[in-house]
């Protein structure tokens, strides 16, 4: 296999899917050498089968808004690969959702889930429905209509959805409720469920905490202490908020948060009291980061992202794909940033990634760094299967172990001759090998 030719052909077949092509390109270029060491892979055309999703469901969702108007949205589920376990991955509700974005997310999820050491294949789903500005009843009717199509394609051992952007505890609860009604059984078909009906302790915290645990593993390779470090975070959703929570406990300074409207700068670092207030604003009132800035008297930058505004030692992009471009990366590096660890999926553009790798800073791609979320989803599935629930300490201990294991896999496959680690290569090769060997053993299916 020659990566260049392979990528040209994939681009010819899927010309209108830039995010999908971006994700595929990153993986294929970094696994080319390893792939070519196994001629048996090529004899099964394994790479092409691994890049193209096994199955995609597309459907129309009709629902009625509070004004009695009939509305439609598109619904999707991309079942990318189930070689190592049932399809697993979140559901995204956002106006930007399209097939390219869900295909990139399902592709990434396959490698991420492979890294977690747990038995989970890769999937992603979603809709161009936006819960923002909708009433609870509108969100409920939409979730029920969405699930009325999807319920027949998922199951505890088939495909297990969870949350993602726009899908939190409220949406998972409504979807799980409708699934249970249609299927006439109570099973662990969703993760991220409420604590009273099969959810796992620590699942809300898992992605953010996991990213910080991964960061600590990376920093320790260079003897860097997190205490007192200035950390820029983008986003203010589930991932960003719990990232900030853990960083404050560790004595780091959180110097920014953001949302799709703008960035708040927190010059002296977020205090625990301010954290409690932003948590309440975001989760109890579904408020905006501009309101937090106004309430605390912090500088607010409308329409801007944090990267060129705040000076930081560490950047944790935790909002969405392609939110950090080449110029942002150059600004971060010029300001002395020594580590970037991705809480979001593919937040850095290809150009930004090249800048980080070229500069030799600690740079962790999302599929390694943010795998804590889906890892605790895997632990939720394990608890549901046993009909037991573990303590928060137990789940947290396992999460720390898993993140350390993912870090070790990156080191194993990504160490450069000078002893530094290319985490992109390490994560891609480790994630790929497990899935590829499983696919090979299972034949052409
Ligand atoms: N949406 C999350 C992710 O990107 C979590 C998926 C899950 O828990 O299944 O990994």
DSSP string, 383-430: HHHHT----HHHHHHHHHHHHHHHHHHHHHHHB-TTS-B-HHHHHHHH
pLDDT of residue 407: 98
Strands 70-81 and 122-127: antiparallel
- The pTM for the full model equals 0.98
Residue nearest to atom 10 of ligand 1 (CA): 374
Q: Is 134 a catalytic residue?
A: no
Position 383 scores a pLDDT of: 98
In the set 88, 112, 124, 282, the catalytic residue is: 124
| Percent of all residues in the chain with a pLDDT value above 90, rounded to a whole number | 100
- The residue whose C-alpha atom lies closest to atom 5 belonging to ligand 1 is 374
Q: Which atom of ligand 1 is nearest to the CA of 377?
A: 8
Q: Give 3-state DSSP helix, strand, coil % of the chain, rounded to 5.
A: 50, 15, 30
Span 219-269, pLDDT tens digits: 999 999 999 999 999 999 999 999 999 999 999 999 999 999 999 999 999
Look at strands 87-93 and 122-127 and give their pairing: parallel
- The reported pLDDT for the residue numbered 1 is 84
Query: Would you say the CB of residue 377 lies under 6 angstroms from ligand 1?
Result: yes
Could you give the CA distance from residue 117 to residue 405 in angstroms, rounded to a whole number? Answer: 8
Residue 5 is inside which H or E element, if any?
helix 3-13
92: region left, alpha or beta (phi > 0 left; psi from -120 to 50 alpha): beta
Question: What's the pLDDT score for residue 40?
Answer: 96
HSE (side-chain half, CA atoms, 13 Å) at 71: 21
Atom of ligand 1 lying closest to residue 374 CA: 8
Point out the residues of the chain with pLDDT beneath 70.
none
Out of 23, 103, 163, mutate this one to test ligand 1's pocket (max ligand atoms within 8 Å of CB): namely 163
- Please list, residue by residue across 184-216, b when 16 or more beta carbons sit within 10 angstroms of its beta carbon and e when fewer do: eeebbbbbbbeeeebbbbbbbbbbbbbbbbbbb
CA angle 194, 249, 220 (to 5 degrees): 110
First vs last C-alpha separation in the chain? 21
Q: Could you give the CA distance from residue 138 to residue 66 in angstroms, rounded to a whole number?
A: 6
Task: Name the nearest CA neighbour of 369 among 215, 239, 266, 142.
Answer: 215
| Atom 8, ligand 1: residue with shortest CA distance | 374
Query: For residues 258 and 427, what is the distance between their CA atoms, to the nearest angstrom?
Result: 28
Atom number, ligand 1, closest to the C-alpha of residue 88: 9
């Amino acid at each position: 296999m020659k990566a260049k030719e392979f990528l040209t052909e994939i681009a010819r077949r899927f010309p209108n899917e830039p995010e999908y092509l971006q994700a595929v390109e990153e993986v294929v270029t970094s696994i080319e050498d390893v792939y070519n060491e196994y001629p048996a892979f090529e004899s099964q055309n394994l790479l092409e089968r691994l890049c193209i999703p096994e199955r995609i469901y597309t459907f129309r969702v009709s629902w009625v808004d509070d004004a009695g108007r009939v509305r439609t949205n598109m619904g999707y589920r991309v079942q990318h690969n189930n070689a190592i376990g049932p399809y697993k991955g979140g559901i995204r509700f956002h106006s930007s959702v399209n097939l390219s974005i869900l295909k990139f997310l399902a592709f990434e999820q396959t490698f991420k889930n492979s890294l977690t050491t747990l038995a989970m294949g890769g999937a992603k789903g979603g809709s161009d429905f936006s819960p923002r500005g909708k009433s609870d009843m509108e969100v409920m009717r939409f979730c029920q209509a969405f699930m009325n199509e999807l319920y027949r394609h998922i199951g505890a051992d088939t495909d297990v959805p969870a949350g993602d952007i726009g899908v939190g505890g409220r949406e998972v609860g409504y979807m799980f409720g409708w699934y249970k009604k249609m299927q006439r059984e109570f099973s662990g078909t969703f993760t991220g469920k409420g604590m009273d009906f099969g959810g796992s302790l620590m699942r809300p915290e898992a992605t953010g905490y996991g990213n910080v645990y991964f960061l600590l593993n990376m920093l320790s390779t260079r003897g860097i202490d997190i205490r007192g470090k200035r950390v820029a975070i983008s986003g203010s959703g589930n991932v960003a908020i719990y990232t900030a929570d853990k960083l404050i406990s560790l004595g780091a300074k959180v110097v920014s948060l953001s949302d799709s409207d703008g960035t708040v700068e927190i010059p002296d670092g977020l205090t625990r009291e301010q954290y409690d207030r932003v948590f309440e604003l975001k989760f109890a009132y579904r408020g905006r980061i501009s309101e937090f800035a106004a309430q605390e008297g912090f500088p607010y930058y409308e329409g801007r992202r944090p990267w060129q505004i705040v000076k930081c030692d560490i950047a944790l992009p935790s909002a969405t794909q392609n939110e950090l471009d080449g110029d942002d990366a150059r600004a971060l590096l010029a300001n002395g940033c020594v580590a970037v660890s991705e809480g979001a999926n593919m937040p850095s553009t290809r150009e930004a990634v090249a800048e980080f790798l070229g500069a030799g800073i600690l740079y962790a791609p999302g599929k390694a760094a943010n795998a804590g979320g889906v890892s605790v989803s895997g632990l939720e599935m394990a608890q549901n299967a046993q009909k037991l629930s573990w303590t928060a300490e137990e789940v947290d201990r396992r999460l720390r172990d898993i993140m350390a294991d993912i870090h070790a896999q990156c080191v194993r496959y990504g160490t450069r001759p000078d002893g530094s680690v290319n985490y992109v290569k390490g994560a891609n090769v480790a994630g790929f090998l497990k899935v590829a060997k499983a696919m090979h053993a299972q034949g052409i299916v």
